[in-house]
Amino acid sequence: MAERLRLMAVHAHPDDESSKGAATMARYVAEDVEVLVVTCTGGERGSILNPAMDRPEVKADIAGVREREMDRAREILGVRQSWLGFIDSGFPEGDPLPPLPDGCFAVQSLEVATEPLVRAVREFRPHVVLTYDEKGGYPHPDHVKVHEISMEAFDSAGDPDRYPGTGEPWQPLKLYYHLTFTRDRMTALHQAMIDAGIASPYKDWVERLEDHPQPWAVTTKVPCADFFEIRDRALLAHATQIDPAGFWFACPMEVQREAWPTEDYHLSRSLVDTELPEDDLFAGIREKVCL
């Protein structure tokens, strides 16, 4: 009997799984791939970005609210989800930047922060891991930490001498970085809206991206336009973080599907042979697992 493929997505906060790679996960769930989202923190220090949710009772129970939002998003995406249990570091602002809060995720040592992720890898046994690049996708300290522990776990989970007591060794075969807001994608959406006679909110964004070269090449484009609606429903489940009238939904669905029908990734590590560019995160793995 063929083994089921398994995909693990490592994220910093609840809502990150729905804004990065959600349609990809929904597509693979539909294909009977096992998908696990690992959420490193509870998002306790996240700002309330939806004015309709900026209420005293929500602020007083923000950790509980965000946990319930995550439960709903998980159900919509059809994935499994687990918490690593670390405390949100918050996004430091000011000049100079203030110190990070005591005990938060970003100040943990590499070994302490990685151990529960290694445990999760050894228990779930993913073939593919999704994570952020070394800048975190954007410079939130928790996102940078996710990159660090993901790389450490990928390199260590298969070594029986590393992280003893966290389960039987398991070596994932591929690791990817999310490339969500690339210049090419944002430019394509911006131009498609203009061509359709729709006001685009992306002009300034595109100009900023032109001043910041993309450090990682897109190696893998996963067709998943049929699952954009599920992605958006999962996003809306995170009501404290997502304003239904905000930029996430400015581009009409039919325009998105035509202009950019994929979610994109950079293949950072691979222990299997694969040809680039790819259109499948499991390229080179299916031949080994799905016999």
User: According to the model, what pLDDT value does residue 288 have?
Assistant: 82
State what percent of residues in the chain have pLDDT above 70.
Answer: 99
Average pLDDT, the chain: 95
Tokens encoding 192: 């498609």
Q: How far apart are alpha carbons 70 and 49 in whole angstroms?
A: 16
pLDDT tens-digit readout, 90-133: 998 888 888 999 999 999 999 999 999 999 999 999 999 999 99
Nearest in space to 144 (alpha carbons), one of 152, 135, 153:
135
User: According to the model, what pLDDT value does residue 159 have?
Assistant: 98
pLDDT band with cut points at 50, 70 and 90 for residue 203? confident
User: Which residue type is seen at 67?
Assistant: E
Tokens encoding 130: 């999704």
Torsion sign over Cα 40, 44, 49, 51: positive
Can you list the alpha helix ranges (DSSP code H) found in 50-181?
Answer: 56-60, 62-77, 110-124, 141-156
Name every residue whose Cβ is closer than 8 Å to that of residue 288 and which is 6 or more positions away in sequence: 173, 272
Determine contact, residues 201/155, Cβ cutoff 8 Å: no
**pTM given for the model:** 0.96
Q: How far apart are alpha carbons 21 and 25 in whole angstroms?
A: 6
Q: What is the mean pLDDT of residues 249-253?
A: 93
Q: Which domains does the chain have, with CATH numbers?
A: 6-180+217-252+262-289 (3.40.50.10320)
Torsion sign over Cα 161, 163, 169, 175: negative
- Residue 290 reports pLDDT greater than 80: no
User: Which residue type is seen at 156?
Assistant: S
Determine contact, residues 130/10, Cβ cutoff 8 Å: yes
Q: Tell me which residue has tokens 């016999």.
A: 291
- Residue 180 reports pLDDT greater than 90: yes
- Residue 3 reports pLDDT greater than 90: no
Can you list the alpha helix ranges (DSSP code H) found in 160-227?
Answer: 183-195, 203-210
Q: What is the mean pLDDT of residues 287-291?
A: 76
Q: Considering only 47-51, 102-106, 158-162, 277-281, which range has the smallest mean pLDDT?
A: 47-51
Instruction: Give the chain's radius of gyration (CA, Å).
Output: 19
User: According to the model, what pLDDT value does residue 291 have?
Assistant: 59
* 270 bridge partner residues: 174
Nearest in space to 153 (alpha carbons), one of 122, 181, 193:
122
Q: Tell me which residue has tokens 């992605």.
A: 231
- Residue 1 reports pLDDT greater than 70: no
pLDDT tens-digit readout, 50-89: 899 999 999 999 999 999 999 999 999 999 999 999 999 9
SS3 content of the chain, % helix, strand, coil (to 5): 40, 15, 45
Angle, helices 228-237 vs 62-77, to 10°: value is 160
User: According to the model, what pLDDT value does residue 16 have?
Assistant: 97
User: According to the model, what pLDDT value does residue 80 have?
Assistant: 98
What backbone phi and psi angles, to 5 degrees, belong to 58?
-70, -45
pLDDT tens-digit readout, 210-247: 877 788 999 999 999 999 999 999 999 999 999 998 88
Q: How far apart are alpha carbons 126 and 117 in whole angstroms?
A: 12
Can you list the alpha helix ranges (DSSP code H) found in 31-128?
Answer: 56-60, 62-77, 110-124
